[in-house]
Amino acid sequence: MSFAVRRLLDDSYDNDVRNLLLPLTVTRIAANTCYRFSPPFIAIIAGEAQGFDVSITRVGLVISISELAGFLAPFLGTFVDRMSRRISISVGLFGSFVGIMLMAAAPNLIVLCFGLTLLNLLKSCFDLGMAAWLSDRVPYARRGRVVGITETSWALSLLLGVSALGLITAATSWRVASVVGGLAIAVCAIWLDIRMRACGPVIFTATPDASAVGRAAKRAWLVPLSMFGLMGGSQCLFVTFGAWLADDYNFGATGIAAAGFALGAGELLSSIGSAKLTDRIGKERSVALGAGLMIPSAATLAGFDSTLSIGLIALAIFIIGFEYSVVSMLPIATNLFESAPGKGFGLVIGAGTFGRGVLTFVATLLYEQFGISGAALAGIGCAVLSAAAILLFNRGTSS
């Protein structure tokens, strides 16, 4: 398996990058699985049988508050730039483990909110540390391929991780599933730390591309704005599709897990496509292309939400567009500030998680009023914002 992964990068890449490609990706699958577990099963967490016997909107508000912790991501980025990458990654994984365990044991919504907030915030610390570690060792012009490969962890977390936790939820409860996710983080964190200790000194020190950073300084704010729209738009449907399937088509945890598996397959295809195409056709254009794909697919879902097959296909295309766009965005984020990849990545991720936080509450509120069509229309607005912002940024860097 390790040999197969190493073949994805030729010998021109740093040897430590090739050696850690598998541990980094697998560990991020575990962390992303815990991070992505709550939204699809919001109806079950809120429900009387397994959860807190409250409305979906109240649990949506809890998730929104936890996502707002993304405001602190820029400060985490500064922390990552000042500390060793290994320490940043270790702190992030430990905090993620504590957060998911608090979620599993939560006796009320307040503790649930605290656990989710800790999970979301410290997983960002892990993501920032990982992005900075890669930026230290991979030149910007070639970074899209490496990021695309490691970002398959986002798709695989839904395809394999969330689907597996969904089956555990169906057999036991969402609390047991949370514990299993936490144990996966702990095991992977130990494995990754052992492998990172064996790494040699940094050979390549990231030097940003002058045309991308120097000329874009006045328009750099457009990148986090684009990420705000991108992540906020995706959250509109990701946080409501499970409730839609449960309310309109009587899907249980197993059915929602199966739908998540299918969506994860689409995300994986998109991540692979990004690894192959983003550096070739341009990172900014790739972001706009993915956001543009989200618009007609969300409109189709809004118009055909009463037809399960069409609705699911439209949802899958929406997720594919989002995944391609967000993976293409990440190399741009690490290159926003000279010699400070953590700062740029933190700012962009912070804006994105803030978008998730705001739109989680908005989408669940719209869902209870208008069904998934209302949430889909909000997603369209966010995708338009994302595409417009990144195209303006690209225009500024090209002028």
Per-residue pLDDT tens over the stretch 177-203: 999 999 999 999 999 999 999 887 765
* Domains of the chain: residue spans and CATH: 2-398 (1.20.1250.20)
- pLDDT at 225 exceeding the cut of 70: yes
Closest CA to 24 of 238, 260, 194: 194
Q: Binning pLDDT at 50, 70 and 90, where does residue 217 land? A: very low
- pLDDT at 337 exceeding the cut of 80: no
pLDDT digits (tens, 9 = 90+) for 290-320: 999 999 999 999 999 999 999 999 999 999 9
pLDDT digits (tens, 9 = 90+) for 250-293: 998 889 888 988 888 888 888 787 777 777 888 899 999 999 99
pTM of the model: 0.76
Q: How many other C-beta atoms can be found within 10 angstroms of the C-beta atom of residue 337?
A: 20
Can you read off the two tokens belonging to residue 286? 């790739």
Q: What is the CA radius of gyration of the chain?
A: 20
Closest CA to 145 of 22, 12, 280: 280
For the residues 309-338, what does the mean pLDDT come to? Answer: 89
For the residues 2-27, what does the mean pLDDT come to? Answer: 78
Of 29 and 18, more confident: 29
Of 272 and 162, more confident: 162
For the residues 69-80, what does the mean pLDDT come to? Answer: 72
The confidence score (pLDDT) of residue 397 equals 60
pLDDT digits (tens, 9 = 90+) for 348-387: 888 898 898 889 889 999 999 999 999 999 999 999 999 9
SS3 annotation, the chain: CHHHHHCCCCCCCCHHHHHHHHHHHHHHHHHHHHHHHCHHHHHHHHCCCCCCCCCHHHHHHHHHHHHHHHHHHHHHHHHHHHCCHHHHHHHHHHHHHHHHHHHHHCCCHHHHHHHHHHHHHHHHHHHHHHHHHHHHHCCHHHHHHHHHHHCHHHHHHHHHHHHHHHHHHHHCCHHHHHHHHHHHHHHHHHHHHHHHHCCCCCCCCCCCCHHHHCCCHHHCCHHHHHHHHHHHHHHHHHCCHHHHHHHHHCCCHHHHHHHHHHHHHHHHHHHHHHHHHHHHHCHHHHHHHHHHHHHHHHHHHHHCCCCHHHHHHHHHHHHHHHHHHHHHHHHHHHCCCCCCHHHHHHHHHHHHHHHHHHHHHHHHHHHHHHCHHHHHHHHHHHHHHHHHHHHHHHHHHHC
Q: Binning pLDDT at 50, 70 and 90, where does residue 211 land? A: very low
> Please, are residues 360 and 239 in contact by the beta-carbon 8 Å criterion?
yes
For the residues 213-232, what does the mean pLDDT come to? Answer: 77
For the residues 23-37, what does the mean pLDDT come to? Answer: 94
